[in-house]
Amino acid sequence: MRILVIEDETELRELMGRALKREGFAVDLCADGAEGLYFATEYPVDLAIIDLGLPGMSGMDIVRKLRGRQLRYPVLILTARSDWQDKVEALELGADDYVTKPFRLEEVIARVHALLRRSAGHAAAEVDLGRLSINLSAQEVRLDDAILDLTGFEYKVLAYFAHHVDQVVSKMELNEHLYDEDADPDSNVIEVIIGRLRRKLDPEGDWQPIETLRGRGYRFRPERD
Amino acid sequence: MPAASASPSLLLRLLLSAALALVISLALVGLAVDRGFRSASAGALEERLASTVFLLLSTLDVTADGRPLVSDGLAEPRLTQPGSGLYAGVLTESDDWQTPSLTGVLEPPRPVRVARGEERFIGPESDGRFFLYALGLGWEQPDGDIVEMTLWAGEDPERYRAQVQAFRADLWRWLGLAALLLIVVQSLILLLSLRPLRRVAREIGEIEAGQRDRLSGAYPRELQPLTANLNALLMSERDNASHYRQALADLAHALKTPLAVMKARVESGDSVAPEATADELARMERLIRRQLERAARSTRRTLNQPVAVRPVLERLADSLERLYRDAGVVIEVAGDERIRVRADERDLMELCGNLLDNAAKYGRGRVLAEVRTGPAGAREAGVEIRVEDNGPGLDAAAFARLLERGARGDEQAEGQGLGLAIALQLVEAYGGRLDCEASATLTGAAIVARFPPR
């Protein structure tokens, strides 16, 4: 999943970037409001963390503009003010949640997980997909109740699929949402990872949860009728 | 404060404008009376001259050759007294007759002939030397001949002018006197009416000089809203200043301990664990936040516009339902949309936000927020904001404990107690109170913020 962080305080921005990357997210960092709006509207963002007091353009304006362009991904607001007036204004503009500064990074990460889960339609951290269950907070995957050992990147791909169940996901989309802006992945890498994931999820070959759609990409269908 | 360019005093403005209006209206009255008097005098003059002509006519005879013959003993003595100023005469085609009063008059009146059946009056409007009344008639002789004649009477205008002048002098003297008297009375009334304003100014001066701390005494009803609000403003200013001073002192004092700990650690030269520094930093951060919030909230609020409560509750309900979407919290808002509270909207939102947030967090998914006017029967009822939940409820002792721990900033009270303590501070800043009751509809707790009538 790809997270955009718009925060002008350099140290805080870098810290959040590192923490989110450790959680397996692809992260774009922005220090300025106008640049942030460009990223927020032009990049395939899954969630944005926006500071309210930004140079160039206020966080509120960015939220208003991206909601005005029908971009519906979750937005987490960072604010130094804890008044309900400010919170309500941000939420009314289209933000989904807020964190008051100063905050603990763990709290931001927890909110990010909760918002992503909610945007995929999962109410709880535990996502039940038939034989497969994924705990999005603990990043733990169980197949037939046994813990499945996945590499970091395999988990990222599977988690992205879990957020897009029954949807067609192109290789390009996976690239965009799983890699940072400056990374230059070999397109074969995705194919290799999908192959490994298939073998781990379906060693017998009788389930086939990941379909290949020729020329279009993949479709994750863990629970077929 | 820079002195604004002084504008004329209220007293001067009122005095000048009242005096001007008075003088103008009295002058108009004087002019109207003068005009009325002159026109009445002219009417009386014409009547007097006409009756003189008819008096003359009553004693008139005409000789056979057509000459007028006036018998002696005219009833008006001025007609027989030479140079009396009242004159009369008869003009015929053959002869003229004049009253003895014209004897010796150097410039006698020059009457004009008037056709039979006509009359003419030359009054004060003309600039003739005499006022004249003339009547034209035909005298029928026994032989059937008609003698054409004009009877006239004239008066020297001197008498009339003297009369008018005497009247005018009297009129303007009395009117002037009345104006003077009215202006004096008016000034006294104004001085008396403006005295309370001068007292306000003087007392404010004394407050500035530190000789008194509030406006005192009974002011007229019209000024009471002003003086009451001024007193409230003074009180809140003084309260706020002392609150801020207290808050700064508290903050400085509270920060010194963690600072001292950190300083001692650094100076000891021992290696300091990052966690220990982080703990102290977190402590300082909490202190700063709490003291700032307390300083801002405990200030007394005066002179606010009324704010409708229900829209604030609705906005908060929408936002909180979004925030607690995963828990499926449902917030119902009730109450009359027209109910308003005299409070800062930000404060009202903070108060209601804390109450609703607590109810959403510690209830079991259902919240009812209602605004209503206070107990019926009061002439001006206060406003109640009730937030009820379906949680386990809260008894009075537990409520008091939560408030106490929240006000102290107790770690364990970070949640519910802190929110309640903030709500209490806010509602108290407006002279209201916060009560805990049992919810009749949702069976949980009902926290009620009560604003006093204003």
Nearest to B316 among A88, A97, A123 (CB): A88
pLDDT surpassing 90 at residue B113: no
Of B315, B326, B357, the CB nearest to A92: B315
Q: What is the pLDDT of residue A108?
A: 92
Q: How far away is chain B from the Cα of A73, in angstroms, using its nearest Cα?
A: 15
Cβ contacts (< 8 Å) between B315 and chain A: which residues? 88, 92
What is the average per-residue pLDDT within A126-131?
83
Q: What is the pLDDT of residue B1?
A: 46
Nearest chain B residue to A104 by CA: give it: B282
Residue B379 token pair: 């002439």
Q: How confident is the model at residue B413, as a pLDDT?
A: 41
Q: Nearest CA to B88 among B120, B63, B55?
A: B55
Pick from A83, A91, A92: which is nearest to B350 by CB? A83
CA dihedral for A71, A74, A77, A83, sign (positive or negative): positive
Q: State the pLDDT confidence band at B224, using cuts at 50, 70 and 90.
A: confident
Whole-angstrom Cα distance, residue B447 to residue A54? 38
| Residue B112: predicted pLDDT | 83
Whether the predicted pLDDT of A63 surpasses 50: yes
Q: Is the pLDDT of residue B4 over 90?
A: no
State mean pLDDT over B89-107. Answer: 86
Residue percentage of chain B with pLDDT more than 70: 92
Query: Could you read off the pLDDT of A165-198 as tens digits, one per residue?
Result: 888 998 888 888 887 766 666 668 888 889 999 9
Instruction: Find the range with the poorest average confidence among B22-26, B92-96, B308-312.
Output: B92-96
Nearest to B346 among A85, A92, A118 (CB): A85
**Cα–Cα–Cα angle for B71, B76, B81, rounded to 5 degrees:** 90
- B188 to chain A, closest Cα gap in Å: 55
Structure tokens at A11: 């140290």
Nearest CA in chain B to A123: B326
Minimal CA–CA distance to A17: which of A29, A2, A6?
A29
* CB–CB contacts below 8 A, A to B: 37
Contact B354/A102, CB-based, under 8 Å?
no
Q: Please give the pLDDT value at position B375.
A: 65
| Residue of chain B nearest A81, judged by CA positions | B289
Residues in chain B with CB shorter than 8 Å from the CB of A88 are 315-316, 319, 349, 353
B325 touches chain A (CB under 8 A): yes
For residue B327, the chain A residue with the least C-alpha distance is A123
- Phi and psi torsions of B320, nearest 5°: -70, -35
Rounded to a whole number of angstroms, the distance between the first and last alpha carbons of chain B is 33
Cβ contact A84–B323 (<8 Å) = no
* CB spacing of B325 vs A87 below 8 angstroms: no
Q: Choose the mutation target among A75, A84, A86 for the interface with B, i.e. most B CBs under 10 Å.
A: A84
Please give the pLDDT value at position B299: 62
- Whether B314 has its CB under 8 Å from any CB of chain A: the answer is no
**Which residue has better confidence, B3 or B173?**
B173
Averaged pLDDT for residues B197-211: 87
Chain A residues with CB under 8 Å of a chain B CB are: 82-85, 87-88, 91-92, 96-97, 102, 114, 118, 123-124
**A121: nearest CA partner in chain B:** B326
Spatial distance between the Cα atoms of A158 and A209, rounded to a whole number of angstroms: 11
Residue B374 has pLDDT above 80, yes or no: no
Quote the minimal CA–CA distance from A88 to chain B in Å. 6
Chain A interface includes B80 (CB < 8 A)? no
What B53-61 contacts at long range (C-beta under 8 Å, 24+ apart), as own/partner pairs, is: B53/B88, B53/B133, B53/B134, B53/B135, B53/B151, B53/B152, B53/B153, B56/B88, B56/B90, B56/B99, B56/B151, B56/B153, B57/B135, B57/B137, B57/B151, B60/B90, B60/B139, B60/B151
CA A103 to chain CA centroid, Å, is 20
Among the listed residues B109, B114, B74, the one whose alpha carbon sits nearest the alpha carbon of residue B92:
B114
Please check the confidence at residue B411 and state whether its pLDDT lies above 50: no
Residue B96 β-bridge partners: B91
pLDDT band at B412 (very low <50, low <70, confident <90, very high): very low
Torsions phi, psi for A135 (to 5 deg) = -100, 110
Mean pLDDT of B18-42: 93
Q: How far apart are CA B179 and CA B19, in angstroms?
A: 8
- Distance, CA of B42 to CA of B162 (rounded, Å): 13
Rounded to whole angstroms, the Cα distance separating A65 from A6 reads: 15
Select the more confidently predicted residue: B298 or B157. Answer: B157
C-alpha B360/C-alpha B403 separation (Å) is 18
Between A70-74, B290-294, B342-346, the lowest mean confidence (pLDDT) is in B290-294
Is A47 within 8 Å of A76 (Cβ atoms)? yes
Optimal mutation site among B292, B319, B325, B350, interface A, most CBs of chain A within 10 A: B319
- Answer yes or no: is pLDDT of B405 > 80: no
CA–centroid distance for B85 within its chain: 62
Closest-CA distance of chain B to residue A151, Å: 30
Band of pLDDT at residue B74, cut at 50, 70 and 90? confident
- Range in B173-177, B222-226, B350-354 with the lowest mean pLDDT: B222-226
Quick one: pLDDT at residue B157?
85
Contact A118 B326 (CB under 8 A): yes
Residue B319 has its nearest CB partner, among A83, A92, A118, at A92
* Segment B375-404 mean pLDDT: 80
Instruction: Give A123 to chain B, closest Cα distance, Å.
Output: 6
Residue B386, pLDDT above cutoff 90? yes
**The complex's ipTM?**
0.72
Q: Tell me if chain A has a CB within 8 Å of the CB of B118.
A: no
Please report residues of A whose CB lies closer than 8 A to that of B289.
Answer: 82
Residue B378, pLDDT score: 47
Cβ of A88 within 8 Å of Cβ of B354? The answer is: no
Task: Give the strand order in the sheet containing B119-122.
Answer: B96-98, B86-92, B146-155, B131-140, B119-122
Q: Which residue from A83, A91, A114 is facing B322, i.e. has the nearest CB?
A: A91
Give the pairing type, strands A2-6 and A47-51: parallel
Nearest residue, CB atoms, A88 vs list B326, B349, B354: B349
Express each pLDDT in B320-357 by its tens digit: 998 888 888 999 999 998 898 888 888 899 899 999 99
Question: What's the average model confidence in pLDDT over B122-142?
Answer: 86
Mean pLDDT computed over every residue of chain B: 84
Return the pLDDT at B51.
Answer: 93
Interface membership of B279 toward A (CB under 8 Å): no
Contact A88 B285 (CB under 8 A): no
Which of B288, B315, B354, B426 is the mutation pick for testing A, counting most A CBs within 10 A?
B315
Out of B285, B318, B353, the one facing A84 most closely (by C-beta) is B353
Residue in chain A nearest B353 by alpha carbon: A84
Q: Dihedrals φ, ψ of B3, to 5°?
A: -75, 125
Name which residue leads in pLDDT, B151 or B126.
Answer: B151
3-state class of A133 per DSSP?
Answer: strand
Closest partner residue to B319 among A82, A87, A118, by Cβ? Answer: A87
Say if the Cβ atoms of B319 and A88 lie within 8 Å: yes
Q: Which of B318, B325, B350 sits opposite A84 (nearest CB)?
A: B350
Q: Chain B closest CA to A96's CA: distance in Å? A: 7
Cross-chain residue pair B349–A83, CB shorter than 8 Å? yes
